[in-house]
Amino acid sequence: MSEREIVCEELNLALSRFREEGFRLDVIYPADDPHAALLSRGAEVVRLTTRPGAEPPSAAMPPFAPEFVLTSAGGDSGMGRAGMHYRDLIPGRLGGRYIASHITIAEGGPVADWVHYHRVAFQMIFVAKGWVRVVYEDQGEPFVMEAGDLVLQPPGIRHRVLDSSPGLEVIEISAPALHETFADHALDLPNQRIDRERLFDGQRFLRHVATEAPWTERNGFEAQLTGMKEASNGFADVQVLKPGSAAAIHFAGHDGELLFGFALQGSARLDAGDGFDLASGDAFVIPPGAEWGLSAATGDLRLLHVATVESA
């Protein structure tokens, strides 16, 4: 197949023009700020790009570069894939190893998505506000995710976002930061096969429903477990934390690479470094081995806590 590269100023406008000419989208990246796409029409392949010479995604995980990160709510967001708005929660990407995005859909309704999959080592979606209807390969009929619910999207699983409530907010964490989204033009979802125990590159699809999960005591706080550690084959552990009998909690240094927190609601004092006031919508990353904690937590605090268990 012949391939030609076309440099454009606005990727979305170029995509619309080539689709009108009968091309189909095959690959696009990155999801949060797309600058390159592959389209095809028969044997003809076109590569659209706004950044000629930019490094293409690699299947290998880049070296990890630890740092403390604090990202305040209300930062700028940009138009990403399928009309979704992305706010970058780890601007430095920890050497390109991890990306965390606060994704919003303001108006709701049908989402301009298609059946696709990602070349990733890890990817999770957590609903912070509103609801979204999704469908996944081998998992049966479409279902609705509501606030507090999450899914693990194992490597290569085909899926599609169908529609959402106005004001939908989700947190997406992926590794590596730069990865491709591939369209699957041959598969319709939902598909006929149901295999909820199927492994995708060693990981299993996980759907966590918050209203069905109990809370357990953890050093004066309470934690809602999600089953992420088992489903991701030991890659990551995900919990939601809230105050219990104490308004403060202390954590020893963690052994994994990523330790990410996102304040879903409420406020607290982040006891790390010089200390920081943490409010709803703020995110942070604690470097490996660093001790940290939460104090002066309001009763309505809910914190999304994501930690990689082993080096990727």
- Lowest mean per-residue pLDDT among 71-85, 104-118, 149-163, 280-294: 71-85
Residues 6 or more apart whose Cβ sits within 8 Å of residue 218: 241, 244, 249
* % of the chain residues with pLDDT over 90: 86
- Reported as a single tens digit per residue, the pLDDT across 28-85 is 999 888 999 999 999 999 999 999 989 889 888 999 999 999 999 987 777 667 678 8
Which pLDDT does position 83 carry in this prediction? 72
Residues 6 or more apart whose Cβ sits within 8 Å of residue 18: 39, 46, 48
Average the pLDDT over 263-274 and give the result.
96
Residue 37 belongs to what H/E stretch? strand 36-41
Residue 155 has pLDDT above 50, yes or no: yes
Residue 311 belongs to what H/E stretch? none
Q: Which two tokens stand for residue 193?
A: 């096969």
Q: Which two tokens stand for residue 282?
A: 């703020």
Tell me the CA end-to-end span of the chain in Å, nearest whole number: 35
Average the pLDDT over 257-264 and give the result.
97
Q: Which two tokens stand for residue 30?
A: 């990155």
In contact, 88 and 103? CB cutoff 8 Å: no
pLDDT class of 3 with cuts at 50, 70, 90: confident
Omega prior to 30 cis, within 30 of 0:
yes
Residues 6 or more apart whose Cβ sits within 8 Å of residue 109: 163, 164, 166
pLDDT class of 312 with cuts at 50, 70, 90: very low
Residue 279 has pLDDT above 80, yes or no: yes
Rg of the chain over Cα atoms, rounded to whole angstroms, equals 20
Which pLDDT does position 297 carry in this prediction? 96
Dihedral of alpha carbons 108, 111, 112, 118, sign: positive
- The residue behind tokens 């030991």 is 234
Omega prior to 190 cis, within 30 of 0:
yes
Which pLDDT does position 222 carry in this prediction? 97
Dihedral of alpha carbons 134, 135, 140, 142, sign: positive
Q: Which two tokens stand for residue 37?
A: 């796409």
Q: Is this structure's pTM higher than 0.75?
A: yes
Q: Which two tokens stand for residue 21?
A: 């000419």
Residue 127 has pLDDT above 90, yes or no: yes
Average the pLDDT over 111-139 and give the result.
97
- The residue behind tokens 């990602």 is 118
- Reported as a single tens digit per residue, the pLDDT across 173-224 is 999 999 999 999 999 999 999 999 999 999 999 999 999 999 999 888 999 9
